[in-house]
Chains A and B, each alone.
Chain A
Amino acid sequence: MSSTESQIAPSGAAAEITKVLAAEILRGEHEAGSPLRQASLAERFEVSRTPVREALHQLVALGLGTFQPHVGFHVRGISREEYLDAMVIRARLEGLAAERATKTVQSTQLAELTQIERELEQVSNQAASSATGHPLGARQKWSRANERFHDLLVRLANCPPLEAAHTMSVRAYPRDVTWLAVERYPSALEEYCNDHRGILDALRRSDPEAARVQACAHVERALDYLRLVFEVDGETHAVAPFAG
């Protein structure tokens, strides 16, 4: 570390650890204020302390942890409001991205987005035909493809500050937390697929207004489902109603 430049962008392992820890913190598996010890995390993830340290710094950057010299890293509690706020912001940013994308999207990119949409539909169809609920691995398959769909949509807008802001809003939480809603309301998957098709359709027609409305409404639908889940769980604090 002393003579060479140390890593700035998180390495693969660090990024993965960040993701896992962020998900755990948001699911409430770590108490606010509890310590995040480098040694035990290194042991748990079977890596050296370097990626762990990097991941912990990332958590601090995400607002999920705190760091003080000589004191170390601790979990910072994130409220449901903060979490929902991040999604409210995300809805607007994706609306803006979709609107701009109608002017910049290329046919190869549209084909890629269509391909991802088919993958998502497949997961949804399999889930619908399974009598025992969602088949194993569905969550992961859906989450990955869904992330790709949304990230690509934002990239299509060809606007670096928008991408940066979107990353900031989605990094605030692991997106597969939205799966909580899918587990309770299985029909949500089908609705999400419909939304995705609507966005694609607006892009194909180069209709900026429709693209904006559809993309925004899609994230807001997920947001509404999550509010419902949080309310049913009885863990919600008053969240201001939002004129969507």
Chain B
Amino acid sequence: MSVGIDLRYSLPTAAEDGDVAEVLRAAILNGTIPPGTRLHQPQIADLFGISRTPVREALHKLSAWGLVDLVVNHPATVRHLQPDHYADVSVVWAELAALAVELSVLRDADVADALRQGVRDEWAMVEALTRDLQMPSGAGETWIGAQELFHTTIIEASNSPRLREMIESTTGIVPWQTIWKAVEGRPYPLRSTVLRHEEVMVLMRRGAAREAADAMRSHILELGNAVVAFVRHARDEASTDPPLDDALTRDVQH
């Protein structure tokens, strides 16, 4: 299985947009490029109308995100991601996010105040959900926006480009859209998320770096559990259908 002609229609041409890695990442995560697919450098270069160098860089990025396997002298292969992999990712993410909290308390005295409005908006949303027993329209975007704001504010305040880069790379396989799918319409995880945000914020304001970091760690591990359950459920449902993944694996192996 290699990148076939159909991708020419399903992938936007990103040559002008520049970021081949982002386009490929989105395509892998939404299943347009299924697990087991071999990504040949020349084909990708042709597809996007670019030279090999940026393609090679993009494949290195995908590899750092854990999305493809790289073997010398072979095309990159899109990985089969197991639920356990998401569990492992969330453990590492939790550790890095906890460190970001600790550093930001030390390095930016105003960080907790910067978090306040976002947490307020998130509360309003969760309360609307509890009141109306249905998701308000655009809830996904609002929720994802609130998560991004909360977490990037802390990461920026930690003032460590390396840490930011590592969190980005570790969380490459779990974009907020995926996490949203895992918690969507479920009042309990939505409520516990905003409660955790509040807890982290309050502890940060008190300057309790260690405690705030512990709260953040628990928060990410909880989100991770939700994602693992979601992925497991999705896989179990898929396994009652014809095993598409297995067919692809066979194709790659033989």
Chain A contact residues, CB within 8 Å of chain B: 1-2, 4-9, 11, 57, 61, 63, 69, 82, 85-86, 88-89, 92-93, 96, 100, 159-162, 164-165, 168-169, 172, 240-243
List of B residues within 8 angstroms of A159 by Cβ:
88, 91-92
Check if B72 sits within 8 Å of A8, measured CB to CB.
yes
Q: Is B247's CB within 8 Å of the partner chain A?
A: no
List of B residues within 8 angstroms of A6 by Cβ:
41, 52, 56
Check if A164 sits within 8 Å of B162, measured CB to CB.
no
Q: Is B14's CB within 8 Å of the partner chain A?
A: no
Q: Is B103's CB within 8 Å of the partner chain A?
A: yes
List of B residues within 8 angstroms of A9 by Cβ:
70-72
Check if A240 sits within 8 Å of B66, measured CB to CB.
no
- Interface residue tally for chain B (C-beta within 8 Å): 42
A161 to B63, CA, bound (A): 11
For chain B residues 35-82, which have a beta carbon within 8 Å of chain A? 40-42, 52-53, 56-57, 59-60, 64, 66, 70-76
A162 to B106, CA, bound (A): 25
List of B residues within 8 angstroms of A5 by Cβ:
40-42, 73-75
A160 to B87, CA, bound (A): 11
List of B residues within 8 angstroms of A4 by Cβ:
73
The interface-forming segment of B129-137, B163-171, B229-237 is: B163-171
Q: Is B209's CB within 8 Å of the partner chain A?
A: yes
Residue of B at shortest CB range from A60?
B57
Check if B166 sits within 8 Å of A241, measured CB to CB.
no
List of B residues within 8 angstroms of A242 by Cβ:
103, 106
CB distance from B103 to the nearest CB of A (A): 7
Which of B56, B160, B163 is close to A8, meaning CB atoms less than 8 Å apart?
B56
Q: Is B89's CB within 8 Å of the partner chain A?
A: yes
CB distance from B178 to the nearest CB of A (A): 15
Check if A240 sits within 8 Å of B103, measured CB to CB.
yes
Check if A162 sits within 8 Å of B56, measured CB to CB.
no
CB distance from A137 to the nearest CB of B (A): 31
Check if B99 sits within 8 Å of A92, measured CB to CB.
yes
A2 to B161, CA, bound (A): 37
21 contacts across the A-B interface (CB closer than 8 A): A1-B52, A5-B41, A8-B59, A8-B60, A8-B76, A9-B71, A63-B162, A89-B96, A89-B160, A89-B166, A92-B95, A161-B88, A162-B88, A164-B64, A164-B170, A165-B169, A165-B170, A168-B64, A169-B166, A241-B106, A242-B106
Check if A57 sits within 8 Å of B57, measured CB to CB.
yes
Chain B contact residues, CB within 8 Å of chain A: 40-42, 52-53, 56-57, 59-60, 64, 66, 70-76, 85, 88-89, 91-92, 95-96, 98-99, 102-103, 106-107, 159-163, 165-166, 169-170, 209-210
List of A residues within 8 angstroms of B56 by Cβ:
6, 8, 57
Check if B41 sits within 8 Å of A162, measured CB to CB.
no
Which of A63, A96, A160 is close to B66, meaning CB atoms less than 8 Å apart?
A160
CB within 8 Å for A165 and B96 given contacts A8-B72, A240-B107 = yes
Which of B59, B88, B95, B99 is close to A160, meaning CB atoms less than 8 Å apart?
B88
CB within 8 Å for A89 and B170 given contacts A161-B89, A243-B209 = no
Check if B163 sits within 8 Å of A96, measured CB to CB.
no
Residue of A at shortest CB range from B71?
A9
CB distance from A225 to the nearest CB of B (A): 20
A165 to B162, CA, bound (A): 11
Residue of A at shortest CB range from B61?
A61
A89 to B161, CA, bound (A): 11
7 nearest A-B pairs in the assembled complex, by CB-CB distance: A85-B160, A9-B72, A159-B88, A161-B89, A161-B92, A8-B70, A96-B95
CB within 8 Å for A89 and B163 given contacts A160-B85, A161-B88, A243-B106 = yes
Residue of B at shortest CB range from A86?
B162
CB within 8 Å for A92 and B162 given contacts A161-B89, A162-B88, A240-B107 = no
A243-B102, A243-B210 given; 6 more Cβ-contact pairs under 8 Å: A5-B73, A61-B60, A162-B92, A164-B169, A169-B162, A240-B159
